[in-house]
């Protein structure tokens, strides 16, 4: 028996024991263990035959009946296809420098999670498109600093010197990005950062008073006992009910060591960070979890799609998949990306905080600005970067000119891990999540209450330019094509199998 099949059979046995399975169904197992199966994918191997064979053997050894069912292998087929493509690409580029292959395993593994467009150099056509985008802007509307510096002009200089895609190509500026120090003085960056900057809202008095009950408690049992003393109506006291249940859940997580034993990103979001979903159970904005495709990003990548003429109508492309979307019936107001490892300096976290989330938030801002152009300076979109037990909130706005600015705290915040850090960390994460909810609901309410002028035709002037799409980036259709998020998931789960 090979090492691979032995390991697979052990995992199947764990699944049966954990769930007290009496009748084994392949369809249920495959549905519940997508990440586990994905870890074993190897180009050239028939993974379906291997897993079905192991399921049958384990069932026979345990005296269980393997009931007839039809497993859904569709996502795994896509992941396998991408693995094959990656192997072919690697074999064609085997002349890469040895210094790259000598990087540490951790860095090379997490770097696989970043989008390939962040590694591919810009083409001459990309540079030309970037230059044309800046030329299309009205200089009279540029953001002029007190020093006389025009922010868009400096951004253009930087954009045209980049060899790889950067948020500046999408008119996104994060003042904390060290690249900007070469184009703005410290005083100018401070002015950019402080211009109409959003503020964290204070928690309501009742919420702070509730959390104060946990001061000076020296054991998890004391915290749990205090929590049992409180009860709030789920509808009439929705925010207090969310806070109380979040504290109860956090205590449960620590007592049962769930924060140390989760295995996948899905586990992390479902077990540890579920308080984000629950915060949006009431109000006008919904939180949707689980690799959901952003409509805003899909709209961007299909901007040039039109009816057939000289050429046939192109296939509809699919936008970015995110770990969580904050949405209404028609609008998207925020997003969240998660990595299961608590490492705020790994490549995945840096990429998602610096590129993927900002571009997704910009796509959302673009649609919001066209929906409600008169309120452009009050519009905001929100994001969360999760790295294991750490979380960083982001807010995008457009204070002046054509710039979409990323606002972020100077550090990550953390989920409680014991009785000693419980109150401090709990208050912090509750505040940043509740703040995002308030911001998104306020923006949604403002848009719904603002009536814009009705007119035919498109806007003569650009409100906000679209996010940049590199010529070299792959395009994907709905018919079993891969999205960038699929690629990230493939590399993520396959590298996890090697660690």
Q: Is the pLDDT of residue 111 over 80?
A: no
Comparing 119-123, 134-138, 397-401, the range with the smallest average pLDDT is 119-123
Query: What is the rounded distance in angstroms from the CA atom of residue 79 to the CA atom of residue 486?
Result: 7
CA distances from 383 to 354, 437, 498 (A): 11, 11, 31
pLDDT for residue 483 is more than 70: no
Other CB atoms within a 10 A radius of the CB of residue 291 amount to 16
**Rounded Cα distance, 479 and 380, in Å:** 34
pLDDT, residue 484, reads 54
Rounded mean pLDDT, 48-76: 82
pLDDT number for residue 67: 84
What is residue 98's predicted lDDT score, i.e. its pLDDT?
37
Higher pLDDT residue, 306 or 424?
A: 424
Half-sphere exposure in the Cβ direction for 88 (13 Å, CA): 7
The CB-side HSE value for 169 (13 A sphere, CA atoms) comes to: 22
pLDDT in tens, 328-339: 999 999 999 999
Name the helix (H) or strand (E) containing 382. strand 381-387
| 3-class DSSP state of 298 | helix
Share of the chain above pLDDT 70, in %: 84
- pLDDT tens digits, residue range 177-192? 999 999 999 999 999 9
Residue 128: pLDDT band (50, 70, 90) is very high
CA 122 to chain centre: 24
Q: Give Cβ neighbours of residue 323 (< 8 Å, ≥ 6 apart).
A: 265, 269, 289, 290, 291, 336, 337, 338, 386
Least confident of 292-301, 354-363, 489-498: 489-498
pLDDT tens-digit series, residues 236-285: 999 999 999 999 999 999 999 999 888 888 889 999 999 999 999 998 99
CA distance 499 to 494: 9
Q: Is 386 helix (H, G, I), strand (E, B) or coil?
A: strand
Percent of the chain with pLDDT over 90: 59
């Amino acid at each position: 028996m090979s090492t691979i099949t032995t390991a697979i059979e052990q995992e199947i046995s764990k699944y049966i024991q954990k769930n007290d399975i009496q009748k084994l169904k392949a369809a249920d197992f495959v549905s519940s263990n997508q990440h586990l199966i994905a870890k074993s994918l190897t180009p050239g191997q028939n993974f379906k035959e291997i897993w079905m064979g192991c399921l049958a053997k384990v069932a026979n050894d345990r005296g269980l009946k393997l009931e007839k069912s039809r497993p859904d292998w569709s996502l795994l087929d896509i992941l396998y296809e991408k693995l094959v493509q990656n192997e072919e690409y690697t074999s064609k580029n085997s002349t890469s420098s040895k210094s790259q292959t000598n990087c540490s395993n951790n860095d090379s593994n997490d770097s696989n999670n970043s989008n390939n467009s962040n590694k591919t150099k810009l083409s001459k056509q990309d540079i030309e498109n970037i230059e044309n985008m800046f030329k299309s802007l009205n200089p009279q509307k540029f953001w002029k600093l007190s020093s006389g510096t025009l922010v868009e002009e400096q951004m253009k200089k930087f954009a045209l010197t980049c060899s790889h895609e950067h948020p500046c190509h999408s008119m996104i500026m994060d003042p904390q990005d060290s690249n900007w120090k070469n184009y703005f003085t410290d005083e100018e960056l401070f002015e950019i950062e402080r211009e109409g900057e959003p503020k964290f809202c204070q928690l309501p008095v009742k919420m702070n008073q509730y959390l104060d009950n946990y001061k000076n408690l020296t054991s998890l049992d004391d915290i749990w006992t205090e929590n049992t003393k409180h009860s709030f109506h789920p509808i009439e006291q929705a925010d207090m009910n969310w806070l109380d249940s979040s504290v109860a859940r956090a205590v449960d997580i620590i007592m049962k060591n769930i924060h140390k034993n989760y295995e996948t990103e899905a586990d992390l979001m479902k077990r540890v960070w579920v308080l984000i979903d629950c915060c949006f159970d009431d109000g006008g904005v919904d939180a949707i979890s689980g690799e959901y495709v952003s409509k805003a990003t899909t709209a961007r990548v299909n901007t040039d799609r039109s009816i057939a003429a000289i050429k046939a109508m192109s296939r509809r492309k699919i936008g970015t998949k995110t770990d969580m979307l904050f949405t209404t019936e028609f609008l998207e107001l925020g997003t969240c990306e998660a990595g299961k490892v608590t490492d705020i300096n790994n490549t995945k976290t840096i990429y998602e905080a610096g590129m993927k989330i900002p571009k997704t938030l910009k796509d959302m801002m673009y649609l919001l600005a066209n929906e409600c152009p008169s309120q452009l300076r009050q519009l905001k979109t929100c994001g969360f970067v999760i790295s294991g037990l750490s979380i960083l909130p982001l807010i995008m706005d457009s204070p002046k000119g054509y710039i979409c600015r990323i606002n972020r705290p100077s550090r990550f915040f953390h989920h409680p891990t014991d009785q000693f850090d419980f109150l401090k960390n709990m208050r912090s994460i509750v505040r940043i999540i509740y703040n995002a909810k308030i911001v998104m609901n306020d923006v949604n309410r403002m848009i719904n209450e603002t009536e814009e002028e009705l007119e035919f035709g498109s806007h003569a002037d650009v409100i906000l330019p679209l996010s940049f799409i590199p010529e070299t980036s792959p395009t994907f259709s709905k018919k079993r094509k891969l999205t960038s998020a699929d690629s990230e998931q493939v590399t993520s789960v396959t590298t996890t199998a090697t660690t």
